[in-house]
Structure 1
């Protein structure tokens, strides 16, 4: 599909894709640290460090009753009424929120509302949390009452009539299947029991969200939002719950306008819920730009033809936990240098809320442990925070590089190729201040702008983020 027809289709679908080259989208787009699978105590202990680095929000893994040490067990809820899992309990969670808040950092919670834990190998009923968990609650009633968020934890809160009819998704392009059938693992696996959005289920989910809000949570990530109907999402995320809260959904797509997942799932989600979303269209555009044979021209204004979300609706990223941790997405892992350049792009550009992923090497790639405090990320945070609200103007670009500025206060240059690039800039027409230093937050290179024509040099396979002093 050519660019013109793609753009027309994006407009017809109502995709939110205004130009990012000249419009300032967000006055405040604070970077989110995704503290993936971190214990709540660890987040609390690092609250001051996180704040000092420049993060303003921390997204933590799902907080409810779940068992099992594997990371994916956090995405299999057993009970919303109690926080108790290997990452901590209700008291730990509340202490974490308080510690972050004391340092000016907000807490975002990851939410799994489309299914409950797959326990078919243990029992045949669909009563949750089930007899074994209820017995555990009774064994230490004092502790578990203290951890209770709401309800009566001496009894189950879900039964068979609270779930959709069993059946596995076989066609991931079929919207009805994706939103009403189960995610199954194959080899006879019966799948994750898919919740029915009846009044009782919706009420339990609203009680849970309101309780987290009462603790001070100010953001919700809706996991696997494409597997929920927008009716269900809107029934839960009422105007009252969304008040003063940032809600964004995870809808994985392999492209922007014209791609089936984008058109059938992401666009309806944005249009019908009013929420924000992961900018998978932009991620795929970056992936194609930085890969061997790709062109940096793809990043000049991807929103103009539906290959990026509007900045006010976008969560931008270079990697999410699903990419390295799920075999079906590992082909999207960027080359380490390309990932660094992609981070410079999302942290340097205007538009979107950047998300920085940092884990404990759950994937075994040795790539993202302590990533949140890597030296280049520190510099990018400094640049991003200094220039929030500044407009963005692309100055020069070709297949190898892009150079853009943030009004007069900063310049970003990214060169994906194996040879250095000289980029001449007319500082008069491009409104860069004379007799001022522009210092790179990544290498400490200083450019002294003192004449109409100035040469910015971009070394091979590198990024520069010059901040005016």
Structure 2
């Protein structure tokens, strides 16, 4: 439940000068909705391609596609070999068929990319030769099959050796990250578990490594992949990223990095990692600054004023460089990030904000209950999500203007086409709007995509009532 002591809904256009005149937010970004089909098998995505398209998604981000073993979701983030796609989610043939099935429905495929490290196999062997003798023997035992699913190179030979990594598996050699505020420590040393775990072998961006990574990306592009999510970009130097994602690779693709921060401008993580990544690579990124504002706004005692124009003071990425969200896979699946989870009801309201606003490419996470929470299983087709996507697609490219707000609610419009109202408090809010000043059309129905509510505007002053703990996304009919 929310703090009932927060100021309740009243007509408050006098809150600030910005509120008096309206806050106009304009973005030219064409922000198609991305479905993060987390840990879905490739043939499952292919089978659902028509449904995914009908729900309004334009892109699908799939889990890392290369050689990896182990049934756990995190095993997909421990690559053994880039040269073949062969893991519990499918093989090269399945991946190609999935891309084709999505493309036939007008939906693009995005691939999750792990280039910072290779699999932690210290418990199996002491060398850093990848994919290792056991995997090479597996290839040899089924040579015709692996020849068929090879993306590039010759799988009769190894891919990487000890010369391609920072450090060794020698307990005296590898360095685990000890200071996450130190850029060099974070980008040159290893992600490790509890001692004596030697961690994930950290790749050195030498010419050989860079060339193999580029060959892998080009192979996926040749299949029809049009976007790349750079996992753990915080742990790679921008030099490495720019060497791999050269102009040829970036041509015709959407590249965005994952750099987790707890805030925007002024926070150490933003200033040391995210801001340099954006400026030095030109890539997009997860909008963790905006997510921090969302958490603050919906948190106990927080105020919806935090969401009026967060970008104005560096608490949101520019709209044309942002991937926006209410949850990412790391938050529910890693104990160290679960503190960032929103209350389930607040997350639903946050989704309305992310999909209703202008700016950023919204990403929706949908899993098979890997976390055990049950909240995101089949989320992609939930009724409220379908309604939000419908609103987003109908208003895409329309400018956004905040009409009214207070601690409890935020009301904004997308030109005359749509109106979004979000009320975080328990008590309903009466929000009176001067429809003439706001340019809303008279004698037209505005139908809520989330409920049966219809607003018929027929006079200058109109009350957009917002029930407690709810969102409305009204589209003009």
Given candidates 199, 212, 222, the residue that maps to 2:230 is 222
Shift of residue 187, structure 1, vs aligned partner = 2.5
Counterpart secondary structure, 1:429 = helix
Q: 1:88 and 1:135 mapped to 2: Cα distance?
A: 20
CA contact (8 A) 1:183 1:192 kept: yes
Given candidates 168, 192, 212, the residue that maps to 1:204 is 212
Q: Which runs of 5+ in 1 are unaligned?
A: 1-19
Given candidates 130, 143, 146, the residue that maps to 1:144 is 146
Once the two structures are superposed, the pairs formed by residues 110-125 of structure 1 within 5 Å of their partners are 110-125=112-127
Q: Could you tell me which residue of structure 2 aligns to residue 29 of structure 1? A: 31
| TM-score relative to the length of structure 2 | 0.94
CA offset digits 1:26-55 (Å, max 9, x no partner): 352100000000000000000000000000
CA contact (8 A) 1:26 1:388 kept: no
Q: 2:436 and 2:159 mapped to 1: Cα distance?
A: 67
CA offset digits 1:120-152 (Å, max 9, x no partner): 000000000000000010111111111100111
Q: Could you tell me which residue of structure 2 aligns to residue 369 of structure 1? A: 377
Does residue 168 of the first structure (1) align with residue 176 of the second (2)? yes
Counterpart secondary structure, 1:67 = coil
Aligned positions, number: 450
Q: Could you tell me which residue of structure 2 aligns to residue 286 of structure 1? A: 294
CA contact (8 A) 2:36 2:365 kept: yes
Given candidates 405, 410, 413, the residue that maps to 1:405 is 413
Q: 1:356 and 1:27 mapped to 2: Cα distance?
A: 18
Does residue 263 of the first structure (1) align with residue 271 of the second (2)? yes
Once the two structures are superposed, the pairs formed by residues 59-458 of structure 1 within 5 Å of their partners are 59-165=61-167, 166-458=174-466
CA contact (8 A) 2:83 2:151 kept: yes
Counterpart secondary structure, 2:404 = strand
Shift of residue 339, structure 1, vs aligned partner = 0.2
Q: CA 1:21/1:57 → structure 2, altered by over 3 Å: closer, same or farther?
A: farther
Shift of residue 444, structure 1, vs aligned partner = 1.9
CA contact (8 A) 1:413 1:464 kept: yes
CA offset digits 1:380-428 (Å, max 9, x no partner): 0000000000000000000000000000110000000010000000001
Q: 1:314 and 1:215 mapped to 2: Cα distance?
A: 26
CA offset digits 1:201-237 (Å, max 9, x no partner): 0000000000000000000000000000000000000
How large is the RMSD of aligned CA atoms in angstroms?
A: 0.8
Shift of residue 315, structure 1, vs aligned partner = 0.1
CA contact (8 A) 1:26 1:352 kept: no
Q: 2:436 and 2:207 mapped to 1: Cα distance?
A: 62
CA contact (8 A) 2:43 2:94 kept: yes
Counterpart secondary structure, 2:285 = strand
CA contact (8 A) 1:44 1:97 kept: yes
Q: 1:393 and 1:311 mapped to 2: Cα distance?
A: 15
| TM-score relative to the length of structure 1 | 0.95
Q: Which runs of 5+ in 2 are unaligned?
A: 1-21, 168-173
Q: 1:372 and 1:25 mapped to 2: Cα distance?
A: 26
Shift of residue 21, structure 1, vs aligned partner = 4.5
Q: Could you tell me which residue of structure 2 aligns to residue 43 of structure 1? A: 45
